[in-house]
């Protein structure tokens, strides 16, 4: 059945996050031949509307207001509800990001709707849309079917392939006015502690360090390898607790969940809490001096050795490959 589906485009540093395009692709599946409407919220975001269209949205609705310059759940929920009231969608898709995890439950509560959170796959089976999501810290998966009412879901970044960008596609970009008032939260300043470069939650390659890096300087070889591979650096909670790096890099049950194409774990033992944040990576490489380390149980490839010897060797070999292929 054809549906109208709203897809929230998430903006960071005046650019659309990649998960926005993945959400559009998921929206296409939910729409089943119906209309996918992109939604952009912010103080100056209308120029990004055409990019959402090029990735598959049929049209885009924009709410611009100075009160939306920084994310607050109050401001964004009022703006989004104005769009929902106008469009009356049968489906809503968000990215399962920090923003999506905060905003989606609030919108679902306002709509009296159910919510499928952290979906990693979406398919049509037997006339039903089937969402797959991990449970029990990623040790099992469950399948969810919405039998009645609004289809509302958040999708995990890096799991649903975006549609190919088509710069010839065109669609209407229109504005909606929302009465944003009585905000209980005001953002006065944003202090960024995350590392520069590739966004960890959306990176295709992640180089992660654990207690085995031994110090803050121990992350330098990992950063060099990440730079060569165009990836991001992450860490286990043990490394963060030891003050080797900032908690913004933490991967695991109480940190970020990542699903890159390649995950290289360096000096990480493989506690279940860490595995919950990375076990769904497509290819896992483990480097550890302990051959009995639990990380080898989930790794596709294992290297028993000193990370301070192995990682520089990998970096040099990847540099050679880049030179030979250029």
List, in order of start, the domains of the chain with CATH numbers. Answer: 4-175 (3.40.50.620), 200-325 (3.40.50.1220)
SS3 of residue 56 by DSSP: coil
Q: What is the DSSP letter of 161?
A: P
250 is in an annotated binding site: yes
- pLDDT value, residue 144: 95
- pLDDT value, residue 197: 67
SS3 of residue 152 by DSSP: strand
- pLDDT value, residue 126: 82
- pLDDT value, residue 127: 82
Q: Which residue has the higher pLDDT, 138 or 175?
A: 175
Above 60 in pLDDT, residue 52? yes
Helix, strand, coil fractions of the chain, as percent rounded to 5? 35, 25, 40
Using pLDDT thresholds of 50, 70 and 90, give the confidence band for residue 326: low
- pLDDT value, residue 283: 97
β-strand pairing of 205-209 with 232-235: parallel
Using pLDDT thresholds of 50, 70 and 90, give the confidence band for residue 216: very high
Using pLDDT thresholds of 50, 70 and 90, give the confidence band for residue 323: confident
156 is in an annotated binding site: no
208 is in an annotated binding site: no
Mean pLDDT confidence for 272-292: 95
86 is in an annotated binding site: no
- pLDDT value, residue 186: 80
- pLDDT value, residue 189: 81
Above 90 in pLDDT, residue 201? no
Mean pLDDT confidence for 14-31: 96
Mean pLDDT confidence for 111-117: 96
Above 60 in pLDDT, residue 7? yes
C-beta separation of 176 from 61 below 8 A: yes
**End-to-end distance of the chain based on CA atoms, in angstroms?**
48
Using pLDDT thresholds of 50, 70 and 90, give the confidence band for residue 227: very high
Whole-structure pTM value: 0.86
Q: For the chain, what percent of residues have pLDDT higher than 90? A: 85
Question: Per DSSP, what are the bridge partners of residue 285?
Answer: 264, 301
- pLDDT value, residue 16: 96
269 is in an annotated binding site: yes
Report the mean per-residue pLDDT for the chain: 94
Mean pLDDT confidence for 164-184: 93
Determine the Cα–Cα distance for residues 102 and 116; give it in Å rounded to an integer: 14
254 is in an annotated binding site: yes
Above 60 in pLDDT, residue 194? no
- pLDDT value, residue 6: 98
The residues, any chain, with a CB within 8 Å of residue 200's CB and separated by 6 or more, are 194, 206, 232, 233, 234, 248, 249, 251, 256, 258
Above 90 in pLDDT, residue 88? yes
- pLDDT value, residue 188: 80
Above 70 in pLDDT, residue 68? yes
- pLDDT value, residue 193: 61
236 is in an annotated binding site: yes
Polymer length in residues for the chain:
326
Above 70 in pLDDT, residue 196? no
271 is in an annotated binding site: yes
- pLDDT value, residue 138: 80
Mean pLDDT confidence for 169-180: 94
Determine the Cα–Cα distance for residues 63 and 272; give it in Å rounded to an integer: 42
78 is in an annotated binding site: no
Mean pLDDT confidence for 226-251: 96
Above 60 in pLDDT, residue 195? no
């Amino acid at each position: 059945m054809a549906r109208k589906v709203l897809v929230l485009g998430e903006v960071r540093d005046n650019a659309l996050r990649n998960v926005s395009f993945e959400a559009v692709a998921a929206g296409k599946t939910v729409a089943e031949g119906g209309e996918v409407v992109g939604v952009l919220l912010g103080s100056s975001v209308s120029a990004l509307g055409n990019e959402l269209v090029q990735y598959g949205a049929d049209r885009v609705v924009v709410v611009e207001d100075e009160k939306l310059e920084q994310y607050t759940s109050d401001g964004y929920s009022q703006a989004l509800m104005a769009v929902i009231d106008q469009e009356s969608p049968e489906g809503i898709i968000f990215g399962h990001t920090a923003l999506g995890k905060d905003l989606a439950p609030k919108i679902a509560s306002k709509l009296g709707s159910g919510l499928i959170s952290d979906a990693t796959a979406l398919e049509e089976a037997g006339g039903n849309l089937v969402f797959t999501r991990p449970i029990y810290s990623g040790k099992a998966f469950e399948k969810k079917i919405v039998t009645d009412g609004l289809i509302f879901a958040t999708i995990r970044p890096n799991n649903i392939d975006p549609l190919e960008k088509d710069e010839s596609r065109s669609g209407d970009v229109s504005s909606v006015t929302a009465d944003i008032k009585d905000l209980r939260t005001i953002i006065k300043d944003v202090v960024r502690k995350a590392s520069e470069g590739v966004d960890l939650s959306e990176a295709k390659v992640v180089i992660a360090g654990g207690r085995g890096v031994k110090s803050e300087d121990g992350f330098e070889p990992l950063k060099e390898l990440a730079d060569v591979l165009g990836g991001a650096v992450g860490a286990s909670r043990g490394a963060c607790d030891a003050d080797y790096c900032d908690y913004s890099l933490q991967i695991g049950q109480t940190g970020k969940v990542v699903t890159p194409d390649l995950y290289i774990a360096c000096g990480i033992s493989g506690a279940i809490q860490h595995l919950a944040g990375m076990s769904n990576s497509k290819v896992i490489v483990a480097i550890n001096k302990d051959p009995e380390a639990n990380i080898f149980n989930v790794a596709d490839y294992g290297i028993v050795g000193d990370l301070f010897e192995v990682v520089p060797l990998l970096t040099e070999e990847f540099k050679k490959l880049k030179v030979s292929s250029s």
